[in-house]
Amino acid sequence: VELACSEVGGRLQELRTVLSGIAPVHTVRLVRNPFSLRNRKGLSDLKKIINGRSWDVIWTNEPVMGVMTRVAAKTVRKKGTKVVYMVHGFHFYKGAPLTNWLLYYPVEKYCSRLCDMIITINEEDYQRAKGFHAKRTEKIDGIGLDTVKFATCSVDRAEKRRELGVPKDAFFVVSVGELKKHKNHEIMIRALAKTANPHIFYGICGKGELLNRLIRLSNDLNVSKQICFFGYRNDIPEILNTADLFAFPSMRDGLGLAALEAMACGLPLLTSNIRGVSDYVVDGVTGFSCATNDVSGFAERMDQYAADDVLCRKIGANNMKAVLKYDISIITETVCRLLNFDD
């Protein structure tokens, strides 16, 4: 096994350290911007790596890397190498901007000819990919998470809340995600203000360019004392296990790993009704979902949860069962079977 990746994400050195002595890591000069001329150099890098030896299977992810890898592998594929493309979430989806459909849809559909298998992680993408040209289309339940790690996390709830600055008797709502527009934290802040419930406390784990804007919004809406921006955290399991509700208001996502982690902790969900998330959020069973711009809907559901501890416990218990199919052990077994091209 060998890996090829770009510098995108800023974790290349960490990856090299983890895989030292296990697998070589090649660097390719690709960037996320599909219009960047630098991607030509990345394509050249990929061709050198791929044509430099024989491969049984080439696995690729993400739009730019996925396109470039499939193009670079055209020659070796003719010699028997299998090419697998995993989709973490097409950029075109129900409700996506028209520009996304005009730019990404034709490219993805054409490039589906250049691989032997497309793997999707949600139902909407799976149904759409089945209309493409890949020899085989499959769906798996996400990228996997360690459900045991989250379910068995031991934490002193009162002490952790004290450390976080969360009142011990507050109804604690948590979100995990970068402070970017598509993560839609703004809707939760507006919903919190609309509840006018001083008992609800909202904490956001994540960093990003919208921090100051969200702080100003919370001040303008007079809910700054009920909101805490925790920044980037390494103790997400502990924080989740001190919370009462997990909010995932994202405008778009492939599946929503953060919400699945919260389910593994036994938390009820309050989410947007987007592709991927709709695969596991059933109203009244595993959570409640609202339109991404429905401030009143989010506020009403938040109030409903805060007033009904029995409902929270019931949905939380349901989630600990529902999330099991997303466990890393099951996903690993499924992926290994697919890479062997077993039926």
Domain positions in the chain: 3-144+328-339, 147-326
Residue 282, pLDDT above cutoff 80: yes
The whole-number average pLDDT for the span 112-132 is: 97
Would you give the DSSP letter of residue 327? B
What is the band of 204 on the pLDDT scale with cuts at 50, 70, 90? very high
- Quick one: pLDDT at residue 276? 96
- In contact, 263 and 320? CB cutoff 8 Å: yes
Question: Nearest 5°: phi and psi at 235?
Answer: -120, 40
Residue 246, pLDDT above cutoff 80: yes
User: Which residues are within 8 A (CB) of 308 and not within 5 positions of it... i.e. 6 or more apart?
Assistant: none
Q: Which of 84, 69, 144 is nearest to 339 (CA)?
A: 84
Measured distance between the N- and C-terminal CA atoms of the chain, rounded to whole angstroms: 23
Would you give the DSSP letter of residue 303? H
Fold annotation for 3-144+328-339: Rossmann fold (3.40.50)
What is the C-alpha separation between 103 and 98, in angstroms, rounded? Answer: 9
Say whether 147-326 and 3-144+328-339 share the same fold.
yes
- Quick one: pLDDT at residue 11? 82
CATH architecture of the domain with residue range 147-326? 3-Layer(aba) Sandwich (3.40)
pLDDT cut 70: percent of the chain above it: 99
